[in-house]
Amino acid sequence: MSEATAVNAQGTNPLADPQARIDLMADVARTPGSAKPNPILTVDNIVRQFGGMTAVDVDHLEVQRGLITALIGPNGAGKTTFFNLITGFDKPTSAGKGAHWSFEGRTLDKTSASRVARSGMVRTFQLTKSLNRMTVMDNMLLGAQDQAGENLALSMFKPVWRRQEKQIEAKAEELLDRFSLLEKRHDYAGSLSGGQRKLLEMARALMSDPTMIMLDEPMAGVNPALTQSLLGHIQSLRDDGMTVLFVEHDMHVVRHISDWVVVMAEGRIVAEGSAGSVMAEPAVIDAYLGAHHDTDLGDDSLLDEPAAGDAKTDEEQA
Amino acid sequence: MNEIQQILTSMVSTALTPQTAAVAIAVIGLNIHFGFTGLLNIGQSAFMLLGAYGFAISITSYDLPLIVAVFVGLALAFLFALVLGVPTLKLRGDYLAIVTISAAEIIRYVGRSVGYEWLFDKTGGAQGIPGSRYRGPFRDLSVFGDGSTSLLPFNWRDVADGAIWVRLLSWAIVIAVIITVIQIARGKTSLTGRTRALSLTALGAVGVLVTLFAVPVTNQNTGVDGWWTVVVAWGLAVLSSVLVLILTRSPWGRALRGVREDEDAMRSLGKNVFAIKMQALIIGGLFGALGGIMYVLPSTVQPDNMGRSLTFFIYTALLLGGAATIWGPILGSILFFAGRIAVIGITQTYVPNSIMSNQEATQFAFIVVGVALMLLVIFRPQGILGDKRELRFNV
């Protein structure tokens, strides 16, 4: 995107090269809360309690700029709550008692959700929030920032905002084309399929030229072919210089695209590292992946030969 | 035939009254709240009442000039919107509904209270403020002079000695014009852009002319609800609609609809949802106050005339015309008031007095209004002009 943060003089992003990303993170300690070379988001001491239950209790977390970081963990680990907390949709219980988080050096401790979005950190939702009774195009146009026409006093004078409107319309069409939604631009968003709404939500978030995009389960309920193209989009965002933080349950997806993986369990960060190293950690296997994580549970051969499958698990555990 | 002519005459003159236009302006305001922003304001009558009080008391108690009095009325509604909005707009939508309906009752009861002499001197309690005390400055502005005018001067009586076929033909034309206008307004024809706007305006003008040809209305030029008040009230209603048209076709209007659809999504896109909702509440409230001022000009400021039932009339008119449409509020108000008079007229004329007396007929009309509102919400929630596609998707 035009707002790329890590684009060098030649106009190419050095982090588009896989080896460069591996080298960058090679020296980072594989421990929870490790320091990153160039963190874009730093989180300290965020606690969120619902009654007596502690949903999130994160001591320290840094998210590296320009990479795809995956946030994984079992159901109820507090991933979405954590997303809500750092994007301003929820307030930590520890607010004012040492909770501190900053994005690009700016403190976000008391920032409202809309301000967080304007500062360049845009999120999507696990349950897609498309604006159903508006057209796809209107959905997209709402994503653009700093629109003069959204000022009540200026909105009455079309010449003031006509040019800007044209520009953001062109930008929206470009993005819709990229996400193969261009033909749907005059349809109501409510008439799109679930997967298309996911695409629309992601495209809409990109309208604001974010420096960091946070995706909450972008692949949930999306068919394999569309998952493939979504993965391509996410990688191309990274290659354009954007930072991506996403929650996902599909381990193949996580392994395929993430440069760094953070594992949460029971509200805490239990492991960090590259996909390969994290998935080999016994703590992660116990808490999240389970002993079968390397086998496809839909594999027919497992059903046909239950005895063989059991034997294999026993071996693994031994 | 003459009975039908009589019912039609009362329908048309009711549709034309400044009070119908005043309610239409209040409906336009509620349309910004409910139709475009999704704010459930069940106290639009309070905005009207405050506008009316501010306007009338400025003139009766303080002798302020007309234009200042109007601004006092609008300022009261502005403050009222702020007071209602600050605590409730950060909460879920239901809370605004609870607060507005209670606040509207509070305003009404304060208005009709007699306890404080200072206040009673100004509001006149339940008796209210007679229109004759504040109407003067507005009437003096009239450019229509004295006497009375019958519109149209050339009407069905002048063609073929007022034969029945002339009247039947002109009524048929009126019905045809209304149906065509609705079809065009709902986008069912191939007309678009400027031709659509032009044909709507032309058909509207033809409709009004033929209606007045078939059902001539006689009024004073500058009387209590004479042509001067009618023209100003309807002029304001049309101006308000045009203003709403401009506002809602702008990026600001898009943001309003975004808030209606999903506040959290709007927050995630960096929009200040509270500010947008507050702006909508204030703008809609100002239209309400303007409607209130026009509502009391031909009558009196009586708090009990502007209570819950008026709010529900406004809702019925809005849903009838179509929420989130531009011309729905005006169409809905006309059809609502004309329709109510039709029900009253038909029951009074054709139902024997032994079954239903004239007074009961008026009450029966209210029952019909309630049933109509229910049927409307169940079978045609998008109203006459609304786009059914917009309501197909549950939010």
A155 CB within 8 Å of a chain B CB: yes
Averaged pLDDT score across all residues of chain A: 84
Q: What pLDDT was estimated at residue B40? A: 93
The answer on pLDDT for A310 being more than 90 is no
Average pLDDT of the segment spanning A246-261: 87
Q: What chain A residue is nearest to B244 in terms of C-alpha separation? A: A156
Q: Tell me if A188 and B250 make a contact (CB, 8 A cut-off).
A: no
Average pLDDT of the segment spanning A96-107: 85
H-type helices in chain B, by residue range? 2-16, 18-30, 44-60, 66-88, 93-112, 117-123, 136-140, 164-185, 193-214, 227-248, 251-261, 263-268, 273-296, 308-321, 328-350, 358-379, 388-392
Q: How, if at all, do strands A68-72 and A100-103 pair?
A: unpaired
Q: Phi/psi zone of residue B162: left (φ > 0), alpha (ψ -120 to 50 degrees), beta?
A: left
Q: Tell me if B265 and A129 make a contact (CB, 8 A cut-off).
A: yes
Of B254, B269, B395, the CB nearest to A132: B395
B257 contact residues in A (CB cutoff 8 A): 131, 133-134, 138
Q: How far apart are the first and last CA of chain A?
A: 50
Of B262, B267, B394, the CB nearest to A131: B262
Average pLDDT of the segment spanning B122-129: 91
Average pLDDT of the segment spanning A289-295: 64
Q: Tell me if B269 and A89 make a contact (CB, 8 A cut-off).
A: no
Average pLDDT of the segment spanning B105-118: 92
- Chain A: nearest CA to B258, how far in angstroms? 6
A90 CB within 8 Å of a chain B CB: no
Average pLDDT of the segment spanning B72-100: 93
A105-114, A183-192, B66-75, B262-271, range with the lowest pLDDT: A105-114
CA dihedral B60, B62, B66, B68 (to 10 degrees): -140
Q: Where is pLDDT greater, at A298 or A50?
A: A50
B250 CB within 8 Å of a chain A CB: yes
Residues 6+ apart with CB under 8 A from B43: B84, B100, B101, B102, B103, B104, B311
Q: Tell me if B250 and A122 make a contact (CB, 8 A cut-off).
A: no
Helix orientation angle between B328-350 and B2-16, rounded to the nearest 10 degrees: 150
% of chain A surpassing 90 pLDDT: 32
Confidence at A292, pLDDT banded by 50, 70, 90: low
Q: What pLDDT was estimated at residue A6? A: 45
Q: What chain B residue is nearest to A121 in terms of C-alpha separation? A: B268
Q: Token pair of B118, please?
A: 């200072």
Confidence at A308, pLDDT banded by 50, 70, 90: very low
Average pLDDT of the segment spanning A87-109: 86
A279 CB within 8 Å of a chain B CB: no
C-beta separation of B252 from B41 below 8 A? no
pLDDT digit string, tens, across residues A205-228: 999 999 999 999 888 777 788 888
C-beta separation of A123 from A214 below 8 A? yes
The answer on pLDDT for A313 being more than 70 is no
A138-142, A299-303, B349-353, range with the lowest pLDDT: A299-303
Confidence at A278, pLDDT banded by 50, 70, 90: confident
Which long-range CB contacts under 8 A does B166-170 form with residues at least 24 apart? B167/B1, B167/B5, B167/B214, B170/B210, B170/B213, B170/B214
B247 contact residues in A (CB cutoff 8 A): 152, 155-156
A207 contact residues in B (CB cutoff 8 A): 269
- Chain A: nearest CA to B144, how far in angstroms? 33
Q: Tell me if B270 and A115 make a contact (CB, 8 A cut-off).
A: yes
Distance in angstroms (rounded) separating the CA atoms of residues B26 and B291: 5
- Chain A: nearest CA to B88, how far in angstroms? 17
From chain B residues 210-249, the ones with a CB under 8 A of any chain A CB are 243, 246-247
Averaged pLDDT score across all residues of chain B: 90
The residue with tokens 């994007």 is: A87
The answer on pLDDT for B15 being more than 70 is yes
- Chain B: nearest CA to A84, how far in angstroms? 10
Q: What pLDDT was estimated at residue B264? A: 92
Interface mutation target, options A80, A90, A129, chain B, most CBs of B under 10 Å? A129
C-beta separation of A122 from A201 below 8 A? no
CB half-sphere exposure, B100, CA atoms < 13 A: 28
Average pLDDT of the segment spanning B165-172: 88
Q: What is the largest CA-CA distance in chain B?
A: 70
Confidence at A3, pLDDT banded by 50, 70, 90: very low
DSSP annotation of A133 reads T
The answer on pLDDT for A309 being more than 60 is no
B279 CB within 8 Å of a chain A CB: yes
A147 CB within 8 Å of a chain B CB: yes
Interface mutation target, options B268, B325, B394, chain A, most CBs of A under 10 Å? B268
B389 CB within 8 Å of a chain A CB: yes
Q: What pLDDT was estimated at residue A302? A: 57
Q: What chain A residue is nearest to B387 in terms of C-alpha separation? A: A133
- Chain B: nearest CA to A67, how far in angstroms? 22
Q: Tell me if B254 and A138 make a contact (CB, 8 A cut-off).
A: yes
Q: Token pair of A218, please?
A: 């972008």
B77-86, B152-161, B175-184, B343-352, range with the lowest pLDDT: B152-161
Distance in angstroms (rounded) separating the CA atoms of residues A266 and A81: 12
Q: What pLDDT was estimated at residue A21? A: 86
Q: Tell me if A131 and B261 make a contact (CB, 8 A cut-off).
A: yes
Q: What chain A residue is nearest to B271 in terms of C-alpha separation? A: A114
Is B221 exposed, middle or buried (CB count within 10 Å of its CB: 0-12, 13-18, 19+)? middle
Count Cβ neighbours within 10 Å for each residue of B335-351 and write b for 16 or more, e otherwise.
Answer: bbbbbbbbbbbebbeee
Q: What pLDDT was estimated at residue A211? A: 93
Confidence at B194, pLDDT banded by 50, 70, 90: confident
B262 contact residues in A (CB cutoff 8 A): 129, 131
Q: Tell me if A129 and B262 make a contact (CB, 8 A cut-off).
A: yes
Of A123, A130, A150, the CB nearest to B255: A150
A191 CB within 8 Å of a chain B CB: yes
A207-221, A274-288, B96-110, range with the lowest pLDDT: A274-288
- Chain A: nearest CA to B248, how far in angstroms? 9
Please state the ipTM of this predicted complex.
0.84
Q: What pLDDT was estimated at residue A4? A: 42
Confidence at A1, pLDDT banded by 50, 70, 90: very low
Distance in angstroms (rounded) separating the CA atoms of residues A7 and A240: 8
C-beta separation of A93 from A49 below 8 A? yes
Q: What pLDDT was estimated at residue A254? A: 87
Of A129, A133, A145, the CB nearest to B270: A145
